[in-house]
Amino acid sequence: MWIDNDDRIMEILDYIEKPSKECFPVTCPICGKREGHLYFHRYMQGNARGGMWTWCSACRHSAHATYRVPKFWENLKDINFAKLASHPDYLEEKKNCIDEWNNKLIFKR
């Protein structure tokens, strides 16, 4: 069961907006374990509107929202849009390839 009642999980977005040297998975702002993940999905190419998910595999806190996706973001081809939901069950299964993708996109800018 995912817990979506603590906005601190959104602090994971800071790793994209203000890149640091820490790679994904990042330190969870709630439990302190290095199990924090992030995924964006742009709804249409050329449009900034998309979905955003942040979650921690350890403490099971998560958040999902409509979000202005960063310009550099490219959707991960391994992610099936039809399987995305508000809670990150599907994304949790794909977390390793998502983390690799995030690191590739963040550090190539």
| The three-state (H, E, C) secondary structure of 29-70, written as one string | CCCCCCCEEEEEEECCCCCCEEEEEEEECCCCEEEEEEEECC
Provide the percentage of residues in the chain whose pLDDT is more than 90: 83
Does residue 3 sit in helix, strand or coil? strand
| Of residues 62, 68, 65, 59, the one with CA closest to residue 16 | 68
pLDDT confidence of residue 70: 92
pLDDT bracket for residue 19 (50, 70, 90): low
pLDDT recorded at residue 28:
98
Mean pLDDT of the region 93-101: 98
Report the pLDDT averaged over residues 15-39. 90
Does the pLDDT value for residue 108 go beyond 80?
A: no
pLDDT at 109 > cutoff 70? no
Annotated domain spans of the chain = 7-107
* Residue 20 confidence (pLDDT) above 90: no
User: Which residue, among 49, 7, 11, has the nearest Cα to 27 in the 3D structure?
Assistant: 11
Total-model pTM: 0.93
Task: Indicate whether 45 pLDDT > 90.
Answer: no
CA distance to 31, 32, 43, 62, 99, per residue, from 81 (Å): 29, 30, 9, 18, 17
